[in-house]
């Protein structure tokens, strides 16, 4: 199980939990797992999120490995200028 930190305004979709546990070993499994367990997260997941894994930020790479003890933080989708 991977512990995932989600940001404040998403907690309404997780029953006010900002830390949730998902069974995942890749980024794709993580996002699929979140959507399956918390369907209310789906609109935001579809709009896009970034994910910080051990301090590095990932956007799309499905098969990025996630270790059990990785720090995983969901972020609003980053956009630059």
Partner 1 sequence: MALDRKTGTAPREFKIIGTRPARPDGIDKVTGRARFGADMSAPGMLVGRVLRSPHAHARIKSIDSSAAEALSGVHAVVTRADFPAPGEDVADILDNCMAGEKALYDGHAVAAVAASSAAVARQALKLIKVEYEPLPHVTDVDAAMAVDAPALHEGRANETVPDGHSPNVMARHAFGHGDIEAGLAQADRVLERSYRTEATHQGYIEPHACLASMGADGQADLWCCTQGHYMVRNTCAAILGITQGQLRVTASEIGGGFGGKTTVFLEPVALMLAKKTGRPVKMVMSRAEVLRATGPTSSSSVDIRLGMTSDGRITAGFAELRYQGGAYPGAPVDMGAMSAFAPYDLENVRTIGWDVVTNRPKAAAYRAPGAPMAAFAVESAIDELARDLGLDPLEVRLKNAAREGTRASYGPTYPAIGLEATLRTARDHPHWSAPLGPNQGRGVACGFWFNFGGDTCVSLNITPDGTVNLSEGNPDIGGSRASMSMMAAEELGIPYDKVRTVIADTGSLGQNEVTDGSRVTFAVGLATIEAARAAKREMCKRAAQVWGIDEEAVIWEDGAARPSGPNAGEHPPMTLADIAAIASNTGGPIAGHYEINAEGAGVSFATHMVDTEVDPDTGAVTILRYTVFQDAGKAVHPSYVEGQFQGGAVQGIGWALNEEYIYDDNGILQNAGFLDYRIPVASDLPMIDAVILEIPNPGHPYGVRGVGETSIVPPLAAIANAVSAATGTRMSDLPMSPPKVLAAIQAR
Task: Point out which residues bind partner 1 (CB under 8 A).
Answer: 5, 7-10, 12, 18, 40, 43-44, 47, 52, 54-61, 64, 71, 73-81
> From residue 8, how far is each of 15, 19, 21, 75, 80 by CA, in Å?
11, 10, 16, 10, 22
Cβ distance to partner 1 smaller for residue 33 or 51: 51
The encoded tokens of residue 62 equal 């499905």
CB of 52 to partner 1, least distance (A): 4
Six-digit token pair at 28?
């794709």
Q: How far is the CB of 39 from partner 1 (least distance, A)?
A: 11
Cβ nearer to partner 1, comparing 61 with 67: 61
CB of 41 to partner 1, least distance (A): 10
Q: Which residues, listed in sequence order, are joined to residue 65 by a DSSP beta bridge?
A: 26
Q: Closest by alpha carbon to 15, among 43, 50, 41, 44?
A: 41
């Amino acid at each position: 199980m991977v512990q995932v930190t989600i940001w404040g305004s998403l907690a309404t979709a997780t029953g006010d939990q900002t830390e949730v546990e998902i069974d995942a070993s890749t980024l794709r499994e993580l996002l699929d797992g979140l959507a399956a367990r918390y369907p209310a997260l789906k609109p935001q997941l579809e709009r896009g999120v970034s994910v910080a894994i051990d301090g590095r930020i990932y956007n799309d790479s499905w098969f990025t490995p996630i270790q059990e003890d990785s720090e995983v933080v969901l972020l609003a989708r980053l956009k630059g200028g």
